[in-house]
Structure 1
Amino acid sequence: MLRRWLKANALLTPTGLWLGIFLIAPLVVVVEFSFATRDTGVARAVLPWTTQAYLRALDPAFLPIFGRTLVYAVATTVACLLLGFPLAWFIARYGGRYRTVLLAAVLIPFWSSYLARIYAWKALLDGEGLVNTVLGWVGLGRDGGFLLTHGAVVLGLTYGFLPFMVLPLYVACERFDFRLVEASFDLGHGRMSTFFRVVLPGVFTGVLAGSLLVLVPAAGDFVTPKLLGGVDQSTFGSVIDDQFRGGNNWPLGSAMAVLLLVLVVLVLLLRGRRGEDVL
Structure 2
Amino acid sequence: MGHLSGKVALVTGGSRGIGRGIAVRLARDGALVAVHYGRNEEAAKKTVADITEAGGRAFVVGAELGVDGDVDTLVTGLEAGLGAYGEQAVDILVHNAGLNLMGRPIEVLTPEEFDRMVAVNVKAPFFLTQRLLPRLRDGGRIIAISSVSTRVASAHGIGYPLTKGALDVFSHTLAKYLGPRGITVNSVTVGFTDTDMTADVHADPANRERNISLTALGRIGQVPDIADAVAFLASDDARWITGTKIDVTGGVNL
TM-score by length of 1: 0.24
Greater strand fraction, Structure 1 or Structure 2? 2
Q: Tell which has more relative contact order, 1 or 2 (C-alpha 8 A, sep 6+).
A: 1
Greater helix fraction, Structure 1 or Structure 2? 1
Bigger Rg, which one: 1
